[in-house]
Amino acid sequence: MEKGMDLTNDDYTGMILEYLRFGADLRFQVLSHTDNQDESRTAYFPMQGDLYGNLSVSKGVEVYVKQDLLRQQPEFWTTLPLLPNEGYLRIGRFIPTYGLRLDDHTAFTRGGNLRISHGLQKEGMPFSPYIETPGIIEAGMYVSDVFVTLSTANKYVMGSERGYGFSESLEDKNITLRGEYAGNIGSATVLFGGSFMKEGDFQLKGLFGGTSFLGLTWIGEVDIAENWIDDNTSLASFSEFSYPLKQGLHFVARYDLFDEDIKIKNNAISRWTVGTDVFPLSFFEIKLQGRFTSLSGDGENPEPEYLIQFHTWF
């Protein structure tokens, strides 16, 4: 916000060394809701604690390390500029490149919190932060104006046994393909693409996109999963609009949907989220949101949830 600009040094860049960079994402959340006994409950808990490090070894060769302080789930990889058309080869341990990769893992397309709140067998979609990240080899390059990535990995979705994937056949390995286009149509900025993942009998496919015009920004994603929950065909979607009311103050509205089995009626869960994102200072964000969940059919809808989230990063 304009009042906080005086507290920021104009020449601050965050740079420590030319070839060595450090970073972090730190989130803390306060969540309030009413339980089944009509009692108000409030929880305080950290949402994210990630530390990053990146070393530029030479032109196009990077070494990256991420440490999750909350779940002890490290990620690390090396990128090598070995492919044409600005392409790379990435080797290490990280989450497969699929969809929009939202920062909010409570979105149903990123795992959600359905298992805890609604008793499902698994999270909304197979991107929960509680799933161990596998070893991966990924290739990425431009095909015309479309950027494409293709990766192969040890079991990620179903979870592999100890043994670093030696017990898996080639058919059980995780294969993930993703392509995206980003450009301009007139005065609007657009992004759209698709993703596909296969691991044994499990398949996940989806479309994602976004656009920004006259300050209004929309992003969205829809995914269909085969054999994720039993032998069902499940669907998850996400759609969000944001608009800057003034500098440092954004209005945000989001709609999430999860259908455990699209062949059965009245078993979907939908959630509206409405609130504001406030940026009082540089590198500091405050989210104020209300979440309103509905269950299709005759089930009783959960009480609304209200949250305050503090986020700082560098």
Confidence class of residue 48 from pLDDT cuts 50, 70 and 90? Answer: very high
Encode pLDDT of 2-35 as tens digits.
Answer: 877 777 776 766 677 889 999 999 999 999 987 6
CA atoms within 13 A on the CB side of 32: 7
Fold annotation for 2-7+57-313: Porin (2.40.160)
Q: What predicted TM-score, i.e. pTM, was given to this entire model?
A: 0.88
Vertex 228, ends 226 and 230: CA angle to 5°? Answer: 100
Encode pLDDT of 28-42 as tens digits.
Answer: 999 998 766 667 889
What is each CA distance from 69 to 106, 159, 227, 301, 314, in whole angstroms? Answer: 18, 21, 32, 34, 16
Encode pLDDT of 188-224 as tens digits.
Answer: 999 999 999 999 999 999 999 999 999 999 999 999 9
What secondary structure does DSSP assign to 72-128, as a single string? ---EEEEEE--STTT-EEEEEE-----TT--S-TTSGGGT-SHHHHH--SS-SSS--
Which percentage of the chain shows pLDDT scores above 70?
89
Q: How far apart are CA 146 and CA 141, in angstroms?
A: 8
Whole-number pLDDT of residue 165: 67
**Pair 49, 28: CB distance under 8 Å:** no
Which residues share a beta bridge with 68? 50
